[in-house]
Chains A and B, each alone.
Chain A
Amino acid sequence: MLALIFALLFQLAAASLTISIPPSTNLPNPHVLPATTHATLTTLPQEDRHDHILTTSLTRSSTLVFRNIPSGAPESYILEIRSAGFVFAPYRVDVAADGSILGIWETFRGNPWDNRGAEKYVVDVANKRTTNVVVEAKVLGRKGFYEERAKFSPLSLVKNPMILLAIVALVFTLGMPKLMENMDPEMRAEFEQQQRSSPISGASSAMAGGGFDLAGWMAGTTPKPSPAANAEGSGGATGRESGGSARRRA
């Protein structure tokens, strides 16, 4: 009987801390948390005591309950909740010498310990017999473990600027003659005149004929090819053409 009484007394004296995990935007359903989710209270060990790390597992009701927080000396614990895939905010839990909880604050990693954040709970001095403290955990974010593999889709191909350019060029080459045919003859003549004098067409015609003056074209100095070049070019072209016809004849 004695043992039972002791046990009951002990349970009365020691405070318990319950952390509930409410639904949030990062975690709409707390019940999806894996069974390995757990919370720890950690501090520096006192003289030859080994109860400075307390651990508790996730319960069915998505809470984490610390029963029997050790008493003996005032302690300042860091409360951390760890779960695969979810990041929780750490808390600071101050415990009095009798094991009752003095206060719980949000804390920031990499900041001084005294730099306390939002107050989650603080002991009511007048009515000090709050044995069970309930605080809510805060989910800061999720961890994405996997790299997304770039998927092949025809749409992404179309979005590629190079492909777009090629398509436009194709449309022009195929569509231009049709367009020219539909133009009235005067316009067409004028257009052809313009095209012939334009540097690009000169370049393309020269390129087609060979012996292209790249430097000149790049400099834009000779919109009209020099007579020599012209003659050479046309000569080359005719030569080529004749060769071609010769081949055809053969």
Chain B
Amino acid sequence: MRLQAALLAAACILPAAAIFSDEVNHIDFHHALLGAPSPDSTFFLKPSSASNASLLYTLSDKSILGAVNPRDGALVWRHNISQSASPAGGAGLLRGLDGNNAVVGAAGDYISSWGAQDGKLIWDQQFDGNTVADIELLELEDATATSDTRDTLALISGKSFGSVRRFDGDSGAVKWEYIDESGDIPFQVSSSPTEVFYISLQSGILKSSKIKVTALDPITGRQTSQQVLNTEGDITGPESVLFVGANTASPLIVWTDKAHKSIKINVIGSKKISSLAIDNTSGEEIRQITVHAPHKLNSRPHFLVHYKTGSGAWAEVYHVDLKSAAVTKAYQLPYLQGQSVIATSSIDANVYFTRVTDSEVVVVSSASHGIIGRWNVDASSADYAQAAVAEVVAKGKSVAVRAVVLRDSGDWQLIRNGQIEWTRPEALIEAVAAIWVEAEEKEDLAHELEVEGHDSIHGAYIHRVKRHVRDLQHLPDWLKELPQRIVSSVLSDEVTNLDSFGVAKPVVVATRSGRVYSLDTGRQGSVMWSVQASEQAWDVKDITARPGQVIIDLSDGSYVSINASTGESFTQPPLEATNVQSIANFVVSDGSSLVRLGAVGIREDGSPVTPFNDITGFLVTTSANGRVLGWIESDNKTPVWEFVPPSGQRVIKATARPAHDPVASIGKVLGNRSVLYKYLSTNLVLVTAVNEKDHVAGFYLLDGVSGKVLHSATQAGVDPTQPISSVMSENWFAYSFFGDAIGDSSAKGYQLVISELYESSIANDRGPLDAAGNYSSLHGSGTDSLPLPHVVSQSFMIAEPISHMIVTQTRQGITTRQLLCTLPSSNSIVGIPRPVLDPRRPVDRDPTSAEAEEGLFRYAPFLDFDGKWYLTHARDVAGIKDVLSRPTLLESTSLVLAYGGDIFGTRATPSQAFDVLGKSFSKLQLVLTVVALTGGVIFLAPVARKKQVNLLWKAT
């Protein structure tokens, strides 16, 4: 407790750079993503029997179960259900029932039930090694059912058995289990008001199978009857059964013959197979057949079969006669060219089908072919709809419909009565690379200035005058905009429009699936354009921004060039087939900008693909066998040096200082006005190596030119399976790991270690290099060899793992740096101010007055992350793999972008926004104050004059 008190006091001293609550969504944006929703596991549902509004539930292809508010597309809650399961095979399943306050999801061997309203766990079960093949919620009313949570039926598929289990809705306890050890392939479960059906595939001769339906008693789980449907010749495996109807009054099994000539339907429980000819008038081959049927028990026994050909689609609606189990065709939805998707919804017993096509949204009732709702939709894009779910609301005779459409691009779109209400770019999940776009215009000006710089004084002067005269053409426009700008600047939220200072740069994001997005960071990260740059998933190795374009390098040596403003892409095939492990970019810092010299691909064994003769520099690479190699430009065969960690250790990571890492001061001024000189070298490499067997991690600071070890630290009791992150900047480096208690006095938990490098331990001393003008990394003899740094370290216990670390970058490096840490277990990003992580904090004593003047305060072993340090504040930013930082033209402000799962972007101001007028600065208030003061002066001036006059007359 005392520690916390001390820390609290410390936090008060430091300048807090927290976000104001009115800046949320203004300086930051967040795409909370789910992944592509799987069509079978997406539905509208009223989260509790009391609520009127429904939520949209889905289980995505990334096994993320989530609830989305259909009003604005905001995420209500989500859980990654693959986390607690072993690697999931196949798509997950999600089921929910109206009036039931739980949704049940399954992925791989893990089944879990979640509160529909709040997303809290109700129960979960794991079946080691076995997979959940199907789940259904039992809608039938038990006499014993007391709560409003329905029981779940699950079909678990093992290696040699199938098992149907009924789980209690509240506790997850198994009520009964039916085990089938006949060797059939467990396929699905279904239920009718009176029975539970277990459907399995019985292998027959010549790879064809028969469908076996076993009826079970829902109360006891005992087998009541069994039927084998003669389907040989039609069915070869689970994929050839189109549909197994769930929870309808007449559950169905639907399949077709191999030639798609007729559709075959069995009402589960009966032996009869109805065969209906498919009336294909389009003359094209049928590509896809989907069956849409209501999922509610009291719905009418109607269903729709949707036939898709290469260029169009039509649908047929069938009715089932409950008594005779006969299936009859009721009507047909016409064949239409272009896209077509169907969604089913039901109100009480009525069933509605919603069809979304190129130009319109149509709602029909299952009973008759009359169109009861039609809206025109502008869907001229080539972005085809894949699947849809809809919710129909009857308003008297007319209907209203909300349809959520999943498009080919991965966009998830809600269309309400023909209007697009929101779009969620779900394909943005799993971004693999991102970069800020370099604007083109700025480069023009830079070019002009460069011309002026290189010209003679006279020529440069004429050039400049000409340029200014040319600029005059913008004057009328500028004058026209001026009044509007003044008005808007007084009234608007942000006092100064900072877009011209580079805080609202667009960002280009490449996803694993081959899509490239451009996000407008100035407008809540809205998508400006998106293109499918690669037809299949690609292996992105590097992304670089050139003026007006973005280059994405791939592992096979090819690259894709994308126009940053339009998204036009152009793929350059590789010159020669190579397999590149990574790309090394040669960048030199020129003032506040970076100059790119070139790039070279690195093979898996760590060697450069080509010699990089035209570039002056050296290269440090890691090889697949756990070593660090140093290269010079002329030789790509043999490295100049090789760092081999102690035996048993394997290099897992090597980090260097960022390319843009300006140092504002070469020393640190102490309280007594003496200076500790920083050990500044641009050639430092921090290598992390682990020994998995002995749980040892080694951190080695190397000189990149010579490979000389400058400093090393070894940590014992390290868990190598947990994230070990490291970062380096200026004259310091930091790393984090999980450390176990290995001795009596050691602690257990996550640790963050910070080390600072100084030229000497003594103030005002520059060590051996004091008088030296130059030094060499290579020539070890004499006094001008590379000296070893004086390293000061401190270690802090932290409450959670850090998966990724980066340092905020500002234009000149004057602003205090923040250590940006990604916290995967609390789905947030925290920016730890550097003054807190000062390894010179006094240990076991209070700071002296000189130390206090320096800003040092007493060391506490536990570093509690202050809430104000969280860049993500209350947001849940999940799945972050990488964080980028970039300077802006404002020294106070650094742009931050996090991607990998969600996309999150913000502006970090580690020393507060000292060069920006914030929102607290009210121009209106300023104007009012000036007016009030003028009024006061006008009022008081005569009074004061009179008084002075009186004083002079009366004084004498």
Answer yes or no: A52 CB below 8 A from chain B CBs.
Answer: yes
* B19 in contact with A146 (CB, 8 Å): yes
Q: Which of A35, A76, A208 contacts B77 (CB 8 A)?
A: A35
With A3-B161, A146-B18, A149-B20 known, 9 other A-B pairs at CB within 8 A are A44-B738, A60-B120, A85-B874, A87-B864, A110-B3, A113-B747, A114-B744, A148-B20, A205-B952
Answer yes or no: A156 CB below 8 A from chain B CBs.
Answer: no
Residue of A nearest to B866 (CB): A143
Q: Which of B311-319, B551-559, B820-828 contacts A (4 or more CB under 8 A)?
A: B820-828
CB-defined contacts of A205 to chain B, threshold 8 Å: 951-952, 955
* A109 in contact with B797 (CB, 8 Å): yes
CB-defined contacts of A18 to chain B, threshold 8 Å: none
Taking CB atoms and an 8 Å cut-off, the chain A residues in 139-154 that contact chain B are: 140-150, 152
Most buried by B among A56, A83, A84, A234: A84
* B744 in contact with A40 (CB, 8 Å): no
Show 19 residue pairs from A and B whose CB-CB distance is below 8 angstroms, ordered by the A residue. Answer: A1-B179, A3-B163, A3-B179, A34-B876, A44-B738, A57-B79, A82-B799, A84-B828, A85-B867, A87-B864, A110-B797, A112-B745, A146-B19, A147-B18, A149-B22, A205-B951, A237-B952, A237-B955, A241-B949
CB-defined contacts of B637 to chain A, threshold 8 Å: none
Taking CB atoms and an 8 Å cut-off, the chain A residues in 83-121 that contact chain B are: 83-85, 87, 90, 107-114
* A4 in contact with B177 (CB, 8 Å): yes
CB-defined contacts of A52 to chain B, threshold 8 Å: 719, 721
A208-B951 in contact given A44-B740, A59-B122 (Cβ < 8 Å): yes
- Measured CB to CB, the closest approach of chain B to A16, in angstroms, equals 12
* A4 in contact with B179 (CB, 8 Å): yes
* A40 in contact with B825 (CB, 8 Å): yes
* B20 in contact with A110 (CB, 8 Å): no
* B744 in contact with A112 (CB, 8 Å): yes
**Chain B window 74-107, contacts with chain A (Cβ cutoff 8 Å), 1 for yes, 0 for no:** 0001010001100000000000000000000000
Taking CB atoms and an 8 Å cut-off, the chain B residues in 94-135 that contact chain A are: 115, 118-122, 124, 126, 130
Residue of A nearest to B181 (CB): A1
* B695 in contact with A44 (CB, 8 Å): yes
Complex Cα–Cα for A56 and B922 (A) = 48
Answer yes or no: B746 CB below 8 A from chain A CBs.
Answer: yes
Complex Cα–Cα for A84 and B827 (A) = 9
CB-defined contacts of A40 to chain B, threshold 8 Å: 825
Q: Which of B16, B826, B919 contacts A84 (CB 8 A)?
A: B826
CB-defined contacts of A108 to chain B, threshold 8 Å: 862
**Chain B window 1-27, contacts with chain A (Cβ cutoff 8 Å), 1 for yes, 0 for no:** 001100000000000101111100000
Answer yes or no: B398 CB below 8 A from chain A CBs.
Answer: no
* B18 in contact with A59 (CB, 8 Å): no
By size class, the interface of chain B is: 35 or more
* A149 in contact with B920 (CB, 8 Å): yes
Q: How many residues on the A side are at the interface (Cβ–Cβ under 8 A)?
A: 61
Answer yes or no: A224 CB below 8 A from chain B CBs.
Answer: no
CB-defined contacts of B826 to chain A, threshold 8 Å: 36, 82-84
**Chain B window 912-926, contacts with chain A (Cβ cutoff 8 Å), 1 for yes, 0 for no:** 000000011010010
Complex Cα–Cα for A208 and B949 (A) = 9
* A60 in contact with B744 (CB, 8 Å): no
Complex Cα–Cα for A57 and B112 (A) = 11
Complex Cα–Cα for A111 and B862 (A) = 8
* B158 in contact with A3 (CB, 8 Å): yes
* B3 in contact with A152 (CB, 8 Å): no
Complex Cα–Cα for A155 and B77 (A) = 43
A36-B876 in contact given A4-B179, A147-B19 (Cβ < 8 Å): yes
Complex Cα–Cα for A196 and B920 (A) = 48
- Measured CB to CB, the closest approach of chain A to B586, in angstroms, equals 40
Complex Cα–Cα for A204 and B130 (A) = 97
**Chain B window 863-902, contacts with chain A (Cβ cutoff 8 Å), 1 for yes, 0 for no:** 0101110100110100000000000000000000000000
- Measured CB to CB, the closest approach of chain B to A224, in angstroms, equals 13
CB-defined contacts of B79 to chain A, threshold 8 Å: 35, 57
A152-B922 in contact given A85-B874, A114-B744 (Cβ < 8 Å): yes
Residue of B nearest to A78 (CB): B748
- Measured CB to CB, the closest approach of chain A to B162, in angstroms, equals 11
Complex Cα–Cα for A144 and B869 (A) = 10
* A44 in contact with B955 (CB, 8 Å): no
Complex Cα–Cα for A56 and B746 (A) = 27
* A145 in contact with B922 (CB, 8 Å): no
Residue of B nearest to A109 (CB): B862
CB-defined contacts of B717 to chain A, threshold 8 Å: 44
- Measured CB to CB, the closest approach of chain A to B182, in angstroms, equals 13
A35-B868 in contact given A55-B84, A109-B799, A113-B746 (Cβ < 8 Å): no
Taking CB atoms and an 8 Å cut-off, the chain B residues in 665-697 that contact chain A are: 695
**Chain B window 773-810, contacts with chain A (Cβ cutoff 8 Å), 1 for yes, 0 for no:** 00000000000000000000000110110000000000
Complex Cα–Cα for A1 and B799 (A) = 45
* A112 in contact with B120 (CB, 8 Å): no
Complex Cα–Cα for A143 and B949 (A) = 63
Complex Cα–Cα for A57 and B122 (A) = 10
Answer yes or no: A50 CB below 8 A from chain B CBs.
Answer: yes
CB-defined contacts of B126 to chain A, threshold 8 Å: 68
Complex Cα–Cα for A144 and B796 (A) = 22
A145-B868 in contact given A82-B825, A110-B862 (Cβ < 8 Å): yes
Taking CB atoms and an 8 Å cut-off, the chain A residues in 44-79 that contact chain B are: 44-45, 50, 52-53, 55-60, 68, 76, 78
Complex Cα–Cα for A84 and B866 (A) = 12
A84-B876 in contact given A60-B122, A113-B747, A143-B870 (Cβ < 8 Å): yes
* A58 in contact with B121 (CB, 8 Å): yes
CB-defined contacts of A45 to chain B, threshold 8 Å: 719, 721
Taking CB atoms and an 8 Å cut-off, the chain B residues in 714-756 that contact chain A are: 717, 719, 721-722, 738, 740-741, 744-749
Answer yes or no: B948 CB below 8 A from chain A CBs.
Answer: yes
* A59 in contact with B120 (CB, 8 Å): yes
Residue of A nearest to B86 (CB): A50
CB-defined contacts of A84 to chain B, threshold 8 Å: 826-828, 874, 876
Answer yes or no: A43 CB below 8 A from chain B CBs.
Answer: yes
- Measured CB to CB, the closest approach of chain A to B378, in angstroms, equals 37
Taking CB atoms and an 8 Å cut-off, the chain B residues in 510-553 that contact chain A are: none
* A208 in contact with B948 (CB, 8 Å): yes
CB-defined contacts of A150 to chain B, threshold 8 Å: 920
* B121 in contact with A147 (CB, 8 Å): no
* A42 in contact with B738 (CB, 8 Å): yes
* B84 in contact with A196 (CB, 8 Å): no
* B922 in contact with A147 (CB, 8 Å): no
CB-defined contacts of A58 to chain B, threshold 8 Å: 120-121
Answer yes or no: B466 CB below 8 A from chain A CBs.
Answer: no
8 closest A-B pairs by beta carbon, nearest first, are A110-B861, A143-B867, A113-B741, A35-B119, A110-B862, A145-B873, A44-B740, A147-B18
Q: Which of B3, B867, B919 contacts A145 (CB 8 A)?
A: B867
Residue of A nearest to B738 (CB): A42
Residue of A nearest to B912 (CB): A147
* A147 in contact with B868 (CB, 8 Å): yes
Answer yes or no: B956 CB below 8 A from chain A CBs.
Answer: yes
- Measured CB to CB, the closest approach of chain B to A10, in angstroms, equals 9
* A110 in contact with B860 (CB, 8 Å): yes
- Measured CB to CB, the closest approach of chain B to A157, in angstroms, equals 10
* A80 in contact with B747 (CB, 8 Å): no
Answer yes or no: B943 CB below 8 A from chain A CBs.
Answer: yes
